[in-house]
Amino acid sequence: MSVSRTTVLVIGGGPAGSTIAAMLGRSGLDVTLLERAVFPRYHIGESLLASCLSILRLSGAFDKVEAAGFRRKRGSLIHWADDEWILDWAKLVDPDAWSWQVDRAAYDEILLRNAAEQGVKVIEGATVKKIEFDGARPVRATWTATDGTPQTITCDFLADASGRNSVLAKQHLNIRRPHQSFQNIAVWGYWTGARLLPGSPEGAINVLSTPQGWFWHIPLADKYSVGYVTHRDVFAEQRPQYASLEEHYLSLVNGDERLRGVLVDAIFTAPVRAEQDYSYVADRFSGPGHVMVGDAACFLDPLLSTGVHLAQYSAMVGAAAIGSALRGEMVEDKALAFFEYTYRRAYSRMLVLVSRMYEAYNGRDEYFWQSQKLVHSDTRQPVPVRSFTDIITGLADVRESAKADLRVGTDALVNEAEFEQDGPTGGNRYMGGIDMSSIWDLWRDPMTQDDVMDGIVMVDSPVLGLQQR
């Protein structure tokens, strides 16, 4: 068995792994990334948030993604219950707020190749099987190459970016918990020749609620991604009525008048894909010598298209924390506390918004006012819909990571968790009960106590890192 050594070992080359590796590689650290697949590989998660632009600039991948010709996205059009929301990012947050709708096979490959260009040693077809610890600190990983040969690598720091596999949280530490409230299934397929609903901003995602779930309708460069999300029990009950998954999916899509309209001239291309039980959270996202970034730490229902944002955002903050700790600019505990706090905060805020939409939706005005309470007072917008858009573009997270007093706004999240802990309000609960205990538990953790956070900010120059103000 061959044994090698690296300063930072990254498991997984999705958006989280490629981003954290590229940023650390750019800062001059010795980084090795092990990826199980050989890219390009298929992945769901196509609709990106505006936050990706600044993060891609910091990882060195922006120009390469820009050159790939993905469809530009400038907002969303949401039909939820009886409301229609047209969220035009340029009008609501910033004229430069846009992103892309991407083919993830191509997007993820660009990010992985970019990591290699930033000096990262990238090995594809490399599956991490086992992590060994010195106390609570991971120090060695065993992995197998495509031909099955076992290899060992030692490291000073480990970043788990293994996505839903959660190598650390699920396979080694047993600290991952499913969300009782989002026991959903998603089914989706691709169509050519479709169009967007009238009134959609350029390249917008369309989100359409139904009595028992919701559809996404996403314009990619050459086709549309059309998916349906519902509770897995609802889906299982209906399933025997159809001879195949494809027949079931087509019946759901064709049963919706709005979709029939935009797919009237469109052609469906098999196969239909499905995923279920994808919402969970780990009890903690970091520990001595390790962080969990992206889906390896937590995943939230895809209603607000937050997955890649949280993956790349946690990767950026994780890279800042690891870099500062390894360069001796900040003690590791403190740097990791900042990572833990910011990632939990971003995740919890999105969780509150998604949960509210599923469970206690009382119309868009109440919903937007609630968003107003969840942003930092310095960045709060005068009009509630703007605060909401600021959050759901991921821009509030990025801006707030550079604020010395990140605690502001967290109180509202904690109150929300306490409120839900005392019992949800009822409302439209067709997707199952809402359980906010995961948020509540996150904020009771000593790692996220307020005093740990005082005055720490993320900076991106002269090098990405953390500073004590």
Ligand X SMILES: Cc1cc2nc3c(=O)[nH]c(=O)nc-3n(C[C@H](O)[C@H](O)[C@H](O)COP(=O)(O)OP(=O)(O)OC[C@H]3O[C@@H](n4cnc5c(N)ncnc54)[C@H](O)[C@@H]3O)c2cc1C
Measured between alpha carbons, how far is 369 from 192 in angstroms, rounded to an integer?
38
* Dihedral sign from CA coordinates of 262, 263, 269, 270: positive
Nearer to ligand X, 36 or 364 (CB): 36
CB of 264 to ligand X, least distance (A): 24
Nearer to ligand X, 79 or 334 (CB): 79
Residues 385 and 92: beta-carbon distance below 8 Å: yes
DSSP 8-class letter at 241: G
The number of angstroms, rounded, from the C-alpha of 76 to the middle of its chain's C-alpha atoms is 17
Cross-strand bridge partners of residue 376: none
Measured between alpha carbons, how far is 278 from 180 in angstroms, rounded to an integer?
11
Nearer to ligand X, 42 or 419 (CB): 42
Nearer to ligand X, 16 or 330 (CB): 16
Nearer to ligand X, 172 or 403 (CB): 172
For residue 232, which phi and psi values (nearest 5 degrees)? Answer: -65, -30
Work out whether 290 is an interface residue with ligand X (CB under 6 A): no
Work out whether 392 is an interface residue with ligand X (CB under 6 A): no
The token duo for 180 is 């009782």
Instruction: Collect all residues with Cβ–Cβ distance below 8 Å to 451 and sequence separation of at least 6.
Output: none
Which three-class secondary structure state does DSSP give residue 9?
Answer: strand
Strand 224-231 versus strand 213-219 pairing type:
antiparallel
Nearer to ligand X, 37 or 197 (CB): 37
Nearer to ligand X, 313 or 338 (CB): 313
Nearer to ligand X, 273 or 407 (CB): 273
CB of 450 to ligand X, least distance (A): 28
* Dihedral sign from CA coordinates of 362, 363, 369, 375: positive
CA-closest candidate to residue 242, choices 258, 253, 257, 231: 253
Work out whether 44 is an interface residue with ligand X (CB under 6 A): yes
Work out whether 305 is an interface residue with ligand X (CB under 6 A): yes
Count of H-run helices and E-run strands, the chain: 16, 22
In 103-259, beta strands by DSSP E: 121-124, 127-134, 137-144, 150-160, 176-178, 184-192, 205-210, 213-219, 224-231
Residue from the set 15, 189, 323, 409 that interacts with ligand X by CB under 6 A: 15
Residue from the set 93, 186, 252, 431 that interacts with ligand X by CB under 6 A: 186
Nearer to ligand X, 15 or 219 (CB): 15
Residue from the set 138, 201, 294, 432 that interacts with ligand X by CB under 6 A: 294
Work out whether 332 is an interface residue with ligand X (CB under 6 A): no
Q: What share of the chain is helix, strand, coil (3-state, %, to 5)?
A: 40, 25, 35
Work out whether 207 is an interface residue with ligand X (CB under 6 A): no
Residue from the set 43, 284, 376, 386 that interacts with ligand X by CB under 6 A: 43
Q: Name the one range near ligand X by CB under 6 A: 63-71, 253-261, 301-309, 344-352.
A: 301-309
Measured between alpha carbons, how far is 295 from 334 in angstroms, rounded to an integer?
23
DSSP 8-class letter at 375: S
Strand 205-210 versus strand 213-219 pairing type:
antiparallel
Work out whether 165 is an interface residue with ligand X (CB under 6 A): yes
**How many binding residues for ligand X (CB under 6 A)?**
38
Work out whether 35 is an interface residue with ligand X (CB under 6 A): yes
CB of 80 to ligand X, least distance (A): 17
Nearer to ligand X, 218 or 442 (CB): 218
Work out whether 46 is an interface residue with ligand X (CB under 6 A): yes
Residues in the chain: 469
Work out whether 45 is an interface residue with ligand X (CB under 6 A): yes
- What mask of x and - would describe binding to ligand X in positions 264 to 283, judged by CB under 6 A? -----------x--x-----
Residue from the set 24, 168, 311, 398 that interacts with ligand X by CB under 6 A: 311
Work out whether 295 is an interface residue with ligand X (CB under 6 A): yes
Which three-class secondary structure state does DSSP give residue 94?
Answer: coil
Q: Name the one range near ligand X by CB under 6 A: 35-43, 242-250, 376-384, 385-393.
A: 35-43
Residue from the set 161, 208, 335, 357 that interacts with ligand X by CB under 6 A: 161
The token duo for 98 is 């846009």
Contact positions vs ligand X (CB under 6 A): 11-17, 34-37, 43-48, 127-128, 161-165, 167, 186, 275, 278, 294-296, 299, 302, 305, 307-309, 311
